[in-house]
């Protein structure tokens, strides 16, 4: 991918990177491990973002 990207694309990638984290441990504990996997989790190789 080019290093010089449009600002809008950079912001989309940044938001996607921030949201791509695991469910916090305290939520797992509070819900008795009902929520272990994050439904919106994304891998950079497998899933593409909508551009």
Please state the domain count of the chain.
1
**Distance between CA 13 and CA 51 in Å, rounded?**
9
With respect to residue 39, please indicate whether it lies within any of the assigned structural domains: yes
With respect to residue 4, please indicate whether it lies within any of the assigned structural domains: yes
**Distance between CA 23 and CA 38 in Å, rounded?**
6
CATH code of the domain in which 22 resides: 1.10.1620.10
Domain that holds residue 24: 1-46
With respect to residue 33, please indicate whether it lies within any of the assigned structural domains: yes
User: What dihedral do alpha carbons 5, 7, 12, 13 form, nearest 10°?
Assistant: 40
With respect to residue 21, please indicate whether it lies within any of the assigned structural domains: yes
With respect to residue 51, please indicate whether it lies within any of the assigned structural domains: no
Token readout for 9 is: 């694309």
pTM value? 0.65
With respect to residue 41, please indicate whether it lies within any of the assigned structural domains: yes
Residues 1-49 have pLDDT tens digits of 678 989 998 999 999 999 999 999 999 999 999 989 998 899 999 998 8
With respect to residue 3, please indicate whether it lies within any of the assigned structural domains: yes
């Amino acid at each position: 991918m080019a290093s010089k990207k449009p600002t809008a694309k950079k912001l989309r990638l940044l938001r996607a990177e921030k949201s791509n984290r695991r469910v916090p441990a305290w939520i797992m504990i509070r819900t008795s491990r009902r929520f272990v996997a994050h439904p919106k989790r994304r891998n950079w190789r497998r899933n593409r973002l909508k551009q």
